Amino acid sequence: MPSPARRLQMLLPLLLLPCALPAFAAGVGAGSEVPAALVTESERSGFIRTGRYDEVPALCEAFAARWPDAVRCSDFGTTPEGRPMKVLVASRSGALTPAAARAANLPVLLVQGGIHAGEIDGKDAGFLALRQVLDGEAAPGALEQQVLVFVPVFNVDGHERFGAWNRPNQRGPEEMGWRTTAQNFNLNRDYLKADSAEMQAMLRLVAEWDPIATVDLHATNGAQFEHDISVQIEPLHSGDQGLRAAGLDLRTGLLAALSATGSLPLPFYPSFIEDDNPDSGIADGVPPPRFSHGYFPLRNRFGILVETHSWKSYPVRVRITRNLVVAMLEQTARHGTQWLHLARAADAAAARLGGTRMALDYRASDHVRQVDFRGYAWTRTPSDISGALMTRYDESVPQVWSMPLRDEVLPGRTVVAPRGGYVVPSRHAARVAEALRLHGVEFRTLDGARPATAVQVFRADTATFAKSSSEGHQRLELAGDWQPETHDLAAGALFVPIAQARSRVAVALLEPQAPDSLAAWGAFNNAFERKEYMEAYVAEDVARDMLRDPAVKAAFEDRLRDDAAFAASPQARLEFFYRLHASWDERFSLYPVFRMDSAP
């Protein structure tokens, strides 16, 4: 049970807001007509608590039993601690399998809760919304026009690491799960690298159903203010041009629907540029594909990040999340067929990206505009505890802040995509093939050797290893460029064509400077580590012999004259000759994936 202090923290906003307990939940209170088997522990408690995971399989089966013609309950994976990962499929169309949905040309909407299991609003709100939609109380007719794939809890093992203070910056529920998995993976940093068993199971589910849109339900961290939910959608600033306009329309429709229910929604994530300093403002952007709403645009589908405000009480957050799910079902019913048409056009356009310039990441420009932001009175004064400036908010005094906002989002690092595709030498083929399969990227294995093949290679000028571990990896940042060379390709190499629907995923995985590429997450670190050396006394003799070549002598003297750091470094001076010698490892700092202008 939570401590008295924790209970007071959670109950205080309810005491201040006597109307906060939601009237939208038909299962609350005595005399309700809703069967108990269809009601969450959260709803029974007035949305003060959330249930343990064993209620999810029970609810899943109960929904399928209550609506056998409209709901299916199944497992889509097993967690490292052996728990089933449950999914509910719901539709009034009769299409309850991926094949049936494709045959009927129905849009599939994937809604997931609990990717961060302490932010569990999505589980309780999702079950509530689904029951009300199936009963005809909300979004009437919506399930006739689509298939809903609902994952109540993505991070199942984290959900069962239950505690009252797992989210110290959040009001309610009384106890909740943990942010990361049992193996300490943050699933919303794992989409493209897909280390975790949970993410691999999710990607297989995505491959089966090919959802046109994926809604990822969260609660924020951060400052205190009046806004209660933010909605970010991509493609909107990124991805296929044809989908961007539809992404903007979708965001506009969702924000309008939320506003109509009394919410104060935001179209950007409310995180200040300078931590806990409202004066610093907010910068919008596009996340890298380790995040859900950065990943799905690479597949030419919509990724939607929903963040309720963690300092709102749990009943309020569940109500708002329920409203968002209902609004998304209504939008999908209304526009889903059009989105499918746009997605097919985007898939075709993606197959023509070879030779074009593509963004690897995005940034907010320096353009600033002032926007009204619903905050509270605040002070920022030195703390005698930390010694730093400390921000304190007074929730009894609402204020409208004039907030600096940078929301002009531009491409950051760009690259010209290969005209033909990528080649993965056989020595790395098995590992890369596994990643490609998981993401649905097409490739083929070369059945014979290709000697003296014209390719482009990336030789790193610098390779900077991260000083600390991230998600169990030592990340790597490379500087350099592609250049033409000739290399022998052994049988068993992989060819990854750029002419395919998943070309953006291929580029994100295989471009060495992409933020979540295999290289960036350390898959090829060995290629950038020196393994052989020339002793200094040997290098001295080698250098004297090489200086007989006038061209080498002139280059060495020019470097001595023009580069003071080089001239002052005995090691650098000897390495100058070693790099020109036949003993130098020509594979050192050679990125072990090549590019080609045409298919081999």
Name the 3-class secondary structure at 484: strand
Which pairs count as long-range contacts for 24-29, CB under 8 Å and 24+ apart, including other chains? 24/128, 24/319, 24/322, 25/128, 26/132, 26/137, 27/128, 27/131
Q: Over the stretch 310-350, which tens digit does the pLDDT of each residue have?
A: 999 999 999 999 999 999 999 999 999 999 999 999 999 99
pLDDT of residue 320: 98
Q: Give the span between the Cα atoms of 342 and 151, in whole angstroms.
A: 26
Q: Which phi and psi angles does 452 have, rounded to 5°?
A: 45, 55
pTM (global) more than 0.85 = yes
Asked if the model's pLDDT at residue 25 lies above 70, the reply is no
Nearest to 57, CA basis, from 85, 76, 79, 31: 85
pLDDT of residue 14: 45
pLDDT of residue 29: 36
Q: Answer whether 494's CB lies under 8 Å from 444's CB.
A: yes
Q: Over the stretch 340-398, which tens digit does the pLDDT of each residue have?
A: 999 999 999 999 999 999 999 999 999 999 999 999 999 999 999 999 999 999 999 99
Nearest to 304, CA basis, from 112, 123, 132: 112
**Based on the number of CB atoms within 10 Å of its own CB, is 435 exposed (0-12), middle (13-18) or buried (19 or more)?**
middle
Q: Give the span between the Cα atoms of 413 and 12, in whole angstroms.
A: 47
Asked if the model's pLDDT at residue 464 lies above 90, the reply is yes
Q: Give the span between the Cα atoms of 456 and 181, in whole angstroms.
A: 40
Q: Answer whether 151's CB lies under 8 Å from 87's CB.
A: yes
Residue 22 is encoded by which pair of tokens? 């939601």
**Cα 362–Cα 122–Cα 45 angle in degrees, nearest 5:** 150
Strands 108-112, 147-151: pairing kind = parallel
Q: Give the span between the Cα atoms of 276 and 386, in whole angstroms.
A: 14
Whether cis (ω within 30° of 0) applies to the bond prior to 173 is: yes
Count CB neighbours of 361 within 10 A: 20
Q: Which amino acid is at 484?
A: P
Count CB neighbours of 572 within 10 A: 13
Q: Over the stretch 157-202, which tens digit does the pLDDT of each residue have?
A: 999 999 999 999 999 999 999 999 999 999 999 999 999 999 999 9
Q: Give the span between the Cα atoms of 410 and 408, in whole angstroms.
A: 7
Cross-strand partners of 77: 85
Q: Give the span between the Cα atoms of 113 and 262, in whole angstroms.
A: 23
Q: Give the span between the Cα atoms of 552 and 577, in whole angstroms.
A: 9
Cross-strand partners of 473: 470
